[in-house]
Structure 1
């Protein structure tokens, strides 16, 4: 049995939120590169050593920027997938949650880079709640489409 999918008129919001992640990734790359240059950590090292980071605030900032970027990419695939799936039935909600997730990731990175791990918490919570809600909405959408 074939399933024909008609996208809701508001699906453009979902696409905008999804596309925003491309630019958030560019932001992360620029931020990490800037911190790498300032810290003097040379390629191919992914991070400054713990000993160096404890003594050098620039090395610590680089490690934090690098970790924020890694955390973004770890969550990117589930976020995009959840946005695209949830948006099939709930495009405005999925677009809004996806936009919130993207925006919170910028502030998460800024906080983490400037203030260390403890400064990422507020926007980490916002990001996590937004992504969890997207995942649950995507799961509900999948169940609706599979069984109804």
Structure 2
């Protein structure tokens, strides 16, 4: 018996991807907290006038937060129809956010590009959502059994 009957049986993979994303977000937030102490950047200041290193650590987290709403929406919607596909795309995206942050943490903002492979996961979710929209509208009815 599944916990929530109306969800696909494999939707647990999507939920695990969300847990993975939450872990990643907490990790990035902790790094910002540590950097605030180390570089003496007090709340509510978002960025430092004195420390480029702090700004890199803060920006890695901030950029990730900016992307999460769209990521979660597409992950959940695509996951309703294709849970394994959505979870794989989601895991690629979340893993890339670690690479993105670690590149930024070097102090060289160009190294954040180490995480650009995550766009493949996000693009997969976007294409999946577009496909679902057209399928829901019946555009493929003549081609599907």
The alignment covers a number of residue pairs equal to 135
Name the counterpart of 2:123: 132
Contact 2:103 2:114 in 1 (8 A): no
Name the counterpart of 2:29: 29
Contact 1:88 1:141 in 2 (8 A): no
C-alpha distance in 2, partners of 1:103/1:30?
Answer: 17
Shift of 1:146: 3.3
Q: Which has the higher contact order (CA 8 A, sep 6+)?
A: 1
Moved over 4 A (4+): none
- Give the secondary structure class of the aligned counterpart of 1:114: coil
Instruction: Note the alpha carbon deviations across 1:85-142, whole angstroms, 9 max, x for none.
Output: 111222111101111111111121111112421111021x112221122112122123
What is the TM-score when the length of structure 1 is the normalising length? 0.83
Shift of 1:6: 4.4
Contact 1:83 1:94 in 2 (8 A): yes
Contact 1:47 1:66 in 2 (8 A): yes
> Does 2:112 align with 1:120?
yes
Contact 1:85 1:142 in 2 (8 A): no
What is the TM-score when the length of structure 2 is the normalising length? 0.85
- Give the secondary structure class of the aligned counterpart of 1:28: helix
C-alpha distance in 2, partners of 1:37/1:15?
Answer: 34
C-alpha distance in 1, partners of 2:8/2:45?
Answer: 46
- Give the secondary structure class of the aligned counterpart of 1:45: coil
C-alpha distance in 1, partners of 2:108/2:68?
Answer: 22
C-alpha distance in 1, partners of 2:102/2:54?
Answer: 12
> Does 2:1 align with 1:10?
no
- Give the secondary structure class of the aligned counterpart of 1:88: helix
- Give the secondary structure class of the aligned counterpart of 1:37: helix
